[in-house]
Chains A and B, each alone.
Chain A
């Protein structure tokens, strides 16, 4: 290998190695990129818009059926169900409802509700003004609670969508109290003891 060749090879190898490390970083960058992509397209029913929604007008020409569904994942013993199974709202109209939760076990527990919307096309149009899924919900042994949800449907919802289903999976976080959130998600509140 001539002298000049060696220098060339060294330069090329350094460039290729940095490319490999850059792609390793890109693998991790895919995580926030995925969240941004979800926010735009509502991919996988993820729903990010929290807080007061600046809605122009109430569109009384059509009603949208909002359905509530609950799931207790991974042997979560709490009793957890919506007070109203499904309701009809006008797009742009603020609506309040509540979810009932009871901790039947003999020890203190804390849980986190994870929302998901279907059809995923409708996810960007469902604004959760105030939701119990913003914070972790602690419950003493045997206690129960009415958890509020205030939401509004954006009038710009496409015409062909007439039913939106909002599901909540209630996860038990009692052991994993100190689980730091992977992505600084806006809706991660503190444990209210």
Chain B
């Protein structure tokens, strides 16, 4: 973290008043203010997190006991598909874009994002994209039921009619992500305050810069693959239809060429957030800042060469299997090892355990468990037993739920006093943390066991030998699900009430964002701050 010893700029009182936010709905519809747009992204992400969560609870309720109790198989497949899509594209990515919108301008000393109007537009097309996607639940033939990875030909020749709505939804989400990425790169590269050189940028800004480049490189490929699907379904081409010379495996290659950088897009901002929080509560600068920046930068390129480890059982030639196994194992080291940097930051520090720090510690421990199961999956021969079982489900939920979601919650608790001006209610925060921590582990740890025992993925009903661990997972899912209501209560409570938060908020906090008063005024850094 760059040591910024800047004297508190005296924001003139009247400077704040005469162009505050507009009144009423117009404020939110026409806003070009990065703080308002950030809040809208975060609120939208929370709604999507709830909708995706309800679908997860339907899935876990059905899987509580063997036998079909709640839903019939086709609707169950729709739930798994929509749960995946909404959580990935609706909850995790918009939340990170919202945090970026809020914090990057303040962390680099910029008055606002580089392209404010495009910023507004890239938010406001998202609700409509998800309206299109969710409305397919009520169409004849039902919502998409071919998994969030929408493999052809199940998603082309054998798909319900609503697949076209799914395609347009993905197009719009892709457009929103690309515009957001362009905006963030322009802001970071061009609008830094004088003195805030690339050397001194906080790590959250660095990880988001790399994520933005990844987004620009792969979201168009996703748009390409869904356009190919659209042409296959409606315009009679045969990209993925073997009858006309196409190849379903081509779909898997193009999808995972997008897919693997996408999973890095979902975890790099989390690395940035955790690298901001742990130094603050350990009161010690991040260990190996340069290594972290360089390792994250190397992912921008290396994440493009390992995609086929998602396809070890598709029937690749031996050379392909060995190549992708070696490449995956080699690039796993630089990223996996970054966990040691966080531990080294804590070593000989002076730690306190407020809610953001608790979530960050849980991230380090549980994300590392997900990383280890990922390392096991990289072993190609063993992957023949793991692939498409609940072991894989456990792996990616460990890197996504205690990974991305916990880092988003940690970031929210960390920066909430700066946004709302009220100090956190620590006890409620800790209640939310411990409920989520217990819920996440009871839900996803048993999945390792049933996956290894032989339970395939995406099935609405299972054999009796998997019954007990599945009922445990379902109980855990309901604990985790309802504990998020505590999170909503905490956020709303903090917005309305709580003692006045100081500008510094956390004793160990460093960075430009802590030099503006809390709550952060509508316009910050209209005059660039002096950073020496």
Contact = CB atoms under 8 A, between A and B. Distances in A.
A12 interface: yes
A30 B246 CA distance: 13
B228 A28 contact: yes
B237 A121 contact: no
Main secondary structure of the interface of B (DSSP, over half): helix
A13 B217 contact: no
Contacts of B258: 27
A188 interface: yes
Contacts of B442: none
Contacts, number: 132
B244 A23 contact: no
A31 B220 contact: no
B224 interface: yes
Interface in B243-296: 243-247, 249-250, 253-254, 257-258
Chain B interface size range: 35 or more
A27 B220 contact: yes
Interface stretch (B53-61, B313-321, B424-432, B476-484): B313-321
A19 B258 CA distance: 15
B230 to A, nearest CB: 13
A190 interface: no
A114 B253 CA distance: 20
A176 interface: yes
Interface string B212-252: 00001111111111001000000011110011111101100
A171 B114 contact: no
A5 to B, nearest CB: 6
A1 B191 contact: yes
Interface stretch (B178-186, B448-456, B502-510): B178-186
Contact of A41 (B182, B189, B317): B317
B320 A43 contact: yes
B243 A182 contact: no
Interface string A158-183: 00000000000101110010111111
A8 interface: yes
Given A20-B220, A24-B223, A171-B243, A44 B191 contact: no
B221 A182 contact: no
A183 B219 CA distance: 24
B43 interface: no
Most central of B157, B238, B320 by chain A CB within 10 Å: B238
Most central of A20, A42, A73 by chain B CB within 10 Å: A20
Nearest to B115: A13
A21 B253 CA distance: 20
Interface string A1-37: 1000100110011001101111111111011001000
A176 B225 contact: no
B190 A28 contact: no
A46 B315 CA distance: 12
A176 to B, nearest CB: 6
Contacts of A178: 236
A56 interface: no
A188 B245 contact: yes
B243 A16 contact: no
A179 B244 contact: yes
A9 B218 contact: no
Interface in A48-76: 73-74
Contacts of A24: 220-221, 223-224
A93 interface: no
A105 to B, nearest CB: 18
Contacts of B216: 16, 19-20, 23
A192 interface: no
Nearest to A173: B243
Contacts of B114: 1, 9, 13
A73 to B, nearest CB: 8
A112 B243 contact: yes
Contacts of A44: 247, 249, 314-316
A23 B217 contact: yes
Nearest to B181: A16
A193 B125 CA distance: 51
Contacts of B223: 24, 27
Most central of A13, A27, A34 by chain B CB within 10 Å: A27
B251 to A, nearest CB: 10
A19 B318 CA distance: 34
A23 B237 CA distance: 21
A109 to B, nearest CB: 13
B224 A41 contact: no
A26 B221 contact: yes
Nearest to B239: A182
Nearest to A183: B245
A20 B316 contact: no
Given A16-B185, A31-B239, A41 B254 contact: no
Contact of B245 (A23, A169, A181): A181
A13 B189 CA distance: 11
Nearest to A46: B247
Contacts of A31: 228, 239, 250, 254
B281 to A, nearest CB: 36
Contacts of B115: 9, 13
Nearest to A185: B245
A120 interface: yes
A135 B347 CA distance: 71
Given A5-B191, A12-B186, A181-B238, A114 B243 contact: yes
B236 A43 contact: no
Listed from nearest, the 5 A-B pairs whose CB atoms lie closest are: A27-B224, A171-B243, A24-B220, A23-B220, A27-B221
11 contacts: A12-B185, A17-B182, A22-B220, A26-B221, A27-B220, A27-B222, A27-B223, A30-B257, A73-B242, A176-B244, A182-B245
Given A121-B317, A181-B245, 6 more contacts: A1-B111, A1-B114, A20-B178, A31-B250, A41-B317, A118-B315
Interface of A: 1, 5, 8-9, 12-13, 16-17, 19-28, 30-31, 34, 38, 41-46, 73-74, 112, 114, 118-121, 169, 171-173, 176, 178-183, 185, 188
